[in-house]
Amino acid sequence: MSEKKGLLINGFGSFYSVMIDGKVCQARARGRIKKENIRLLIGDFVTVEQESETYAITGVLPRKNSLIRPAVANVDQIIVVVAAAEPDPNFKQTDKLLGLLEYNNFDVHICINKSDLADYKEIERIYTNAGYPVTITSTIDGKTDITQLKEVLKGKVSAFAGCSGVGKSSLINTLDNSYERITGEVGKIKRGRHTTTHASLLPLEFGGFIADTPGFSVVDLSCVDKGGLERCFKEFEQYFGQCRFSGCTHINEPDCMIKQMLLKGKIEKSRYESYVALFEEAQDKREKFF
Ligand SMILES: Nc1nc2c(ncn2[C@@H]2O[C@H](COP(=O)(O)OP(=O)(O)OP(=O)(O)O)[C@@H](O)[C@H]2O)c(=O)[nH]1
Ligand SMILES: [Mg+2]
Ligand SMILES: [Zn+2]
């Protein structure tokens, strides 16, 4: 039987949608995938064999990258979406997510959505100064300017990531009006309900793919120890090796370049505060462990 290659774009339970020769086909996991309990991710390139009406997924090709939250593989970039308000931005949580992505060498773009609701200049300044490309959006009619975001996404495989209710699914509906993603009221989210329940990869009419993903608030940074934390903050890197002590943790040591840059305003206060908070978290974890 002839084997083909496909792109996994949707999966729920043991049923998957795979794009094969430009067409969306239904498929089920078989053989090795099932036996070894391999978790397939959207964005995976899989090998398939035709089985009457549907296809059997027989294998998965090596991944160039992958994430568990959001659950995606082989993306060119992650678009971290924060809202100007409703929900208010949570800097520590955002920095933790950015840190995880930075540590794992993902290309990251920041999108500040709901720009119609509140002044977003501070958030924009913080992340621009941290070295991230930032795009401002709103999905409200008449205030929508999505052209810049389209340019960012064009021709690439991207995934949205961010808290529930920031407007990831709404952005997809605005980007490509062939989609009618279900969106939720922020009020519901307060009760812990997330509208988008599983990740799916959607082809964009102007080229490329975008993954809509469920919102999340917990980021697991336990793979990074205290010493590695500095590499989670991309703007710190240019100052590496310039502190007085070679193993400087940038917390209490004298002549610390990071702290000098903080005083000069070259490093944003909220970013440094996140660093300290995450450092303390990593320290607590270690103490509990030993
Ligand atoms: N004012 C305003 N409201 C928006 C904007 N974008 C989305 N919303 C509203 O915010 C709510 C949540 O939007 P969703 O698109 O469901 O958010 P989400 O990020 O997909 O949420 P999850 O699927 O739970 O992760 C909806 O009521 C939207 O109508 C915006 O730019 N401005
Ligand atoms: Mg959603
Ligand atoms: Zn230092």
Ligand that lies nearest to the alpha carbon of residue 248, given by its number in the listed order: 3
Among the residue ranges 149-153, 188-192, 230-234, the one predicted with the least confidence is 188-192
Mean model confidence pLDDT for the chain = 92
Region 220-243 average pLDDT: 95
pLDDT at 188 over 60: no
Ligand 1 atom nearest 117 alpha carbon: 1
pLDDT at 189 over 80: no
| Confidence (pLDDT) at 190 | 46
Q: How large is the angle between the packed helices 91-103 and 269-289, nearest 10 degrees?
A: 70
> pLDDT-based confidence at 195, cuts 50/70/90?
confident
Region 34-43 average pLDDT: 91
Region 170-195 average pLDDT: 73
Compute CA 288 distance to the chain's CA centroid, rounded to the nearest angstrom: 29
| Confidence (pLDDT) at 55 | 96
Q: Which domains does the chain have, with CATH numbers?
A: 3-60 (2.40.50.140), 66-212 (3.40.50.300), 226-289 (1.10.40.50)
> pLDDT-based confidence at 271, cuts 50/70/90?
very high
pLDDT at 289 over 90: no
> pLDDT-based confidence at 191, cuts 50/70/90?
very low
153 contact partners, CB below 8 Å, separation of at least 6: 79, 175, 204, 206, 208, 210
> pLDDT-based confidence at 152, cuts 50/70/90?
very high
| Confidence (pLDDT) at 186 | 63
Q: Is 85 in the pocket of ligand 1 (CB under 6 A)?
A: no
CA gap 111, 225 in Å, rounded: 28
CA gap 115, 142 in Å, rounded: 12
> pLDDT-based confidence at 229, cuts 50/70/90?
very high
**How remote is the CA of residue 63 from the centroid of ligand 3, in Å?**
36
Long-range contact set of residues 125-133: C-beta below 8 Å, sequence gap at least 24:
125/268, 126/91, 126/268, 126/270, 126/271, 129/235, 129/266, 129/267, 129/268, 130/98, 130/233, 130/234, 130/235, 130/268, 130/271, 131/234, 131/235, 132/98, 132/108, 132/234, 133/109
Region 73-100 average pLDDT: 97
Asked if 4 contacts 47 with a C-beta cutoff of 8 angstroms, the reply is yes
52 versus 143: the higher-pLDDT residue is 52
- Degrees, nearest 5: CA angle 15-20-21: 165
Q: Is 217 in the pocket of ligand 1 (CB under 6 A)?
A: no
| Confidence (pLDDT) at 277 | 96
Per-residue pLDDT of 41-70, as tens digits, reads: 999 999 999 998 899 999 999 999 999 989
CA gap 111, 163 in Å, rounded: 12
| Confidence (pLDDT) at 286 | 60
> pLDDT-based confidence at 198, cuts 50/70/90?
confident
Region 98-108 average pLDDT: 97
Q: Is 213 in the pocket of ligand 1 (CB under 6 A)?
A: no
| Residue the block writes with tokens 């309990």 | 37
Question: How many distinct helices (H) and strands (E) make up the chain?
Answer: 8, 13
Neighbours of ion ligand 3 (CB under 5 A): 243, 248, 250, 256, 258
Which of the listed ranges 2-6, 11-15, 286-290 does the model predict with the highest average pLDDT?
2-6
Q: Is 118 in the pocket of ligand 1 (CB under 6 A)?
A: no
| Confidence (pLDDT) at 179 | 78
> pLDDT-based confidence at 192, cuts 50/70/90?
very low
Among the residue ranges 1-10, 31-40, 83-92, 273-282, the one predicted with the least confidence is 31-40
- The residue whose CA has the least distance to atom 6 of ligand 1 is 167
| Confidence (pLDDT) at 182 | 76
